[in-house]
């Protein structure tokens, strides 16, 4: 197993051009007994300082669509009251370029998710997300679901965006063999266009940015830690929870259509809960929490529109 991990680690550093070897290495790892998930914020902060260079100045959010489901689906035990889930993407602004977190999705995938209902979609915001992807130097994905990867994978610009999109091997495998929606299935040929990589636990990818491997919501889920020049810290939790109440109450979702690793998710929720109570200037960002998005934009922790 140690040998396999080293091979995967080398591939992580080389990033592109070693997809097959890395898949073989990861397959060996998958046979090993799964270690339970753990993360250490002190270690993450240390790793965030490893890549030299100016850190990011600010982070912007776009809400390109909404999902309307009662809150009990997002937070087990919550009332079955109406609630809005924002669908979001983020733009991390450096002095000399931008990095995207997640990529939005087109209206066709939105309709597919809407199950025949008319949920809101905001074409102008979706267009700004597409322009943000075009302008970005690097694209990171919290996980391989359609509302997070669709803007790259199912875009007319896919051939242009893929070579600057970092895909983990777990994300790649799901997109190839078990995509959440048919529109995001990756062929072997399309997969070769991406920056394929693997890492064991943490990976610094830019000044102040660390990927944190977090399988649970999906096999390819990762959280993304960012510290800005100002010292403000953010932790993009992706879909570990769909609302901050899931973290506050350490409550899982209650959505029968999901196939999550609830053991890992409970450990992740507990870790986030401790951070929420103790980490001072660290701001957890939950992709679909509309209440939180509004509060962060109002308090200028996030810019409300892409630049």
Residues that bind Zn ion (CB under 5 A): 147, 239
**In the complex with Zn ion, which residue's Cβ is closer, 115 or 277?**
115
Q: Is residue 281 classed exposed, middle or buried when 0-12, 13-18 and 19+ CB atoms within 10 A define those classes?
A: exposed
What is the closest distance, in whole angstroms, from the C-beta atom of residue 145 to Zn ion in the complex? 5
**In the complex with Zn ion, which residue's Cβ is closer, 55 or 71?**
71
What is the closest distance, in whole angstroms, from the C-beta atom of residue 52 to Zn ion in the complex? 33
Largest interatomic CA distance in the chain: 51
Task: Collect all residues with Cβ–Cβ distance below 8 Å to 78 and sequence separation of at least 6.
Answer: 71, 72, 243, 245, 251
What is the closest distance, in whole angstroms, from the C-beta atom of residue 202 to Zn ion in the complex? 23
**In the complex with Zn ion, which residue's Cβ is closer, 34 or 182?**
182
Q: Is residue 13 classed exposed, middle or buried when 0-12, 13-18 and 19+ CB atoms within 10 A define those classes?
A: exposed
What is the closest distance, in whole angstroms, from the C-beta atom of residue 6 to Zn ion in the complex? 33
**In the complex with Zn ion, which residue's Cβ is closer, 18 or 240?**
240
What is the closest distance, in whole angstroms, from the C-beta atom of residue 31 to Zn ion in the complex? 30
Q: Is residue 287 classed exposed, middle or buried when 0-12, 13-18 and 19+ CB atoms within 10 A define those classes?
A: buried
**In the complex with Zn ion, which residue's Cβ is closer, 26 or 247?**
247
**In the complex with Zn ion, which residue's Cβ is closer, 208 or 238?**
238
Report yes or no: 36 and 263 within 8 Å, Cβ to Cβ.
yes
Indicate left, alpha or beta for 17 from its phi (over 0: left) and psi (-120 to 50: alpha): left
Residue nearest to Zn ion (CB): 239
Instruction: From 154, 105, 95, select the one nearest 126 (Cα to Cα).
Output: 105
Return the DSSP state at 265.
Answer: H
What is the closest distance, in whole angstroms, from the C-beta atom of residue 225 to Zn ion in the complex? 19
């Amino acid at each position: 197993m140690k040998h396999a991990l080293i091979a995967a680690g080398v591939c992580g550093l080389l990033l592109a051009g070693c997809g097959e070897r890395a898949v073989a290495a990861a397959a060996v790892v998958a046979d090993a007994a799964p270690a339970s998930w753990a993360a250490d914020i002190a270690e993450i902060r240390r790793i965030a300082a490893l890549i030299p260079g100016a850190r990011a100045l600010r982070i912007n959010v776009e809400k390109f669509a909404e999902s309307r489901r009662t809150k009990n689906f997002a937070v087990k035990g919550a009332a079955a009251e109406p609630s809005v889930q924002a669908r979001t993407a983020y733009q991390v602004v450096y002095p000399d370029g931008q990095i995207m977190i997640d990529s939005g999705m087109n209206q066709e995938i939105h309709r597919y998710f809407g199950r025949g209902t008319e949920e809101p979609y905001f074409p102008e915001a979706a267009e700004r997300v597409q322009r943000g992807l075009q302008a970005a130097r690097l694209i990171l994905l919290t996980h391989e679901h359609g509302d997070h990867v669709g803007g790259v994978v199912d875009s007319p610009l896919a051939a242009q965006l893929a070579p600057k999109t970092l895909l983990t091997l777990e994300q790649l495998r799901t997109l190839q063999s078990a995509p959440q929606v048919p529109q995001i299935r990756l062929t072997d040929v399309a997969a070769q266009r991406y920056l394929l990589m693997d890492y064991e636990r943490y990976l610094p990818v830019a000044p102040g940015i660390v990927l944190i491997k977090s399988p649970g919501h999906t096999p390819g889920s990762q959280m993304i830690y960012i510290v800005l020049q100002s010292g403000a810290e953010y932790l993009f939790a992706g879909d570990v929870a769909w609302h901050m109440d899931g973290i506050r109450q350490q409550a899982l979702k209650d959505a029968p259509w999901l196939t999550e690793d609830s053991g890992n998710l409970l450990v992740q929720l507990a870790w986030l809960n401790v951070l929420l109570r103790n980490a001072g200037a660290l701001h957890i960002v939950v992709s679909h929490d509309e209440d939180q998005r509004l509060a962060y934009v109002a308090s200028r922790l996030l810019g409300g529109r892409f630049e």
